[in-house]
Amino acid sequence: MNIEDLLKQKSEWLRGIGPDSDIVVSSRIRLARNLRGYPFTHWGGDDEKAEIIEKIVTVCEKISRLKGALFLRINEISKVDRQFLVERHLMSREFGAEPEHKMLIISSDEVMSVMVNEEDHLRIQTMKSGFDLKNAWNIIDAFDEALAKELDFAYHDEFGYLTACPTNVGTGMRASVMLHLPSLVLTKQIDKILQAIAKLSLTTRGLYGEGTEASGNFFQISNQVTLGRSESELIEHISGMIGQVIEHERNARNALLEKNEARLKDRVWRAFGILKSSRIITSSETIDLLSSVRLGCDLNILPGMNTELLNELFIITQPAHLQKLEGKKLTPEERDLKRAQIIRERLNI
């Protein structure tokens, strides 16, 4: 398996399947772990980081869940490939920014990825399409147990797993859900919803996590607290809140259909028309227009359109994906031209 193989398959987080997949794009569980006896990554020397990679890789190669996995030394791949992996949500931006002494492990189905020597020695994540936190947790929990049999994790009887950032101490777990909430945005209810979420120890980020703003009406909601609650309690808490957000979005969609059907249909068809006829289009404009078309697809306004196709367009029109498809580096203008061409071809239905 190599990076080019990833380009030929659908990314797990955009498969468009699973519970409530018309609103919930993906569910992710992330665990932070560190090896006992080694300084945290930012304080470790080159030899120590190299030892950590060797230990973790040796164990991961034995675990059946990673059979056929892709093992990548980040300093050995190009900047375009690093951005490609970020766009597929397989690693963080920060992880690729300083590539020395870092390893990324990706399962063949892209459900799991492991970052070695990120902020913590281990950042493990599982992603499932749709609202499927429990299944994502079951996968990562089994993997974590397999690792713990071979690796000695830094753990305190009172505080739990020790991490580089105090906010991750305890379970070391972040559960996050990516939602598409265009109707709450259109009906101007989104700020009230996000304020309510913040009061319940949850945080909201954009499409690519920490440090990014919401675009295309995508919002990533995750827990802030990791200490003092068990993993199951954290998952139950965020699942309950996400269930309420889903209900609000459905109600807003119904209200738009009942009170502003003509305007909603005009918005959807205009977006579809622009996408289908544009000769040059930016990434940000594409995401916003695809958001409107996806809403139209979910509400059966666009006959013959399917979520799987739209989800594919969300990712293959990103800058690094375009350059991988073209097989060479492209200038911003060349990317805008290529993006428009791909969209026209895929929407020619």
Q: Are 28 and 95 in contact (CB under 8 A)?
A: no
Residue scoring higher pLDDT (104 or 6): 104
Confidence band, pLDDT 50/70/90 cuts, at residue 228: confident
Average pLDDT over residues 311-340: 94
Closest CA to 201 of 223, 169, 219, 221: 223
Residue 105 structure tokens: 């492990």
Average pLDDT over residues 46-63: 96
Instruction: Tell me, rounded to whole angstroms, the distance of Cα 309 from its chain centroid.
Output: 18
Q: Are 12 and 129 in contact (CB under 8 A)?
A: yes
DSSP string, 117-142: SSSSSEEEEEEEESS-HHHHHHHHHH
What is the pTM assigned to this prediction? 0.91
Q: Are 179 and 245 in contact (CB under 8 A)?
A: yes
| 88-143 pLDDT per residue, tens | 999 999 999 889 999 999 999 999 999 999 999 999 999 999 999 999 999 999 99
Residue 113's contacts (CB-CB under 8 Å, 6 or more residues apart) are: 90, 91, 104, 105, 106, 107, 124, 125
Instruction: Tell me, rounded to whole angstroms, the distance of Cα 341 from its chain centroid.
Output: 26
Which residue stretches of 199-230 are H helix? none
Neighbours of 125 (CB within 10 A): 21
Helix 79-87 and helix 319-326, axial crossing angle in degrees, nearest 10: 120
Domain coordinates in residue numbering, the chain: 3-253, 261-346
> DSSP 3-state assignment of 174?
strand
| 158-171 pLDDT per residue, tens | 999 999 998 899 99
Third-level CATH fold of 3-253: Creatine Kinase; Chain A, domain 2 (3.30.590)
Helix (H) / strand (E) containing 193: helix 190-198
Confidence band, pLDDT 50/70/90 cuts, at residue 201: confident
Confidence band, pLDDT 50/70/90 cuts, at residue 15: confident
Q: How far apart are CA 183 and CA 118, in angstroms?
A: 36
| pLDDT at res. 30 | 97
| pLDDT at res. 349 | 57
Look over the chain and give the mean of its residue pLDDT values, rounded to a whole number: 92
CA dihedral 185, 16, 317, 179 (to 10 degrees): 30
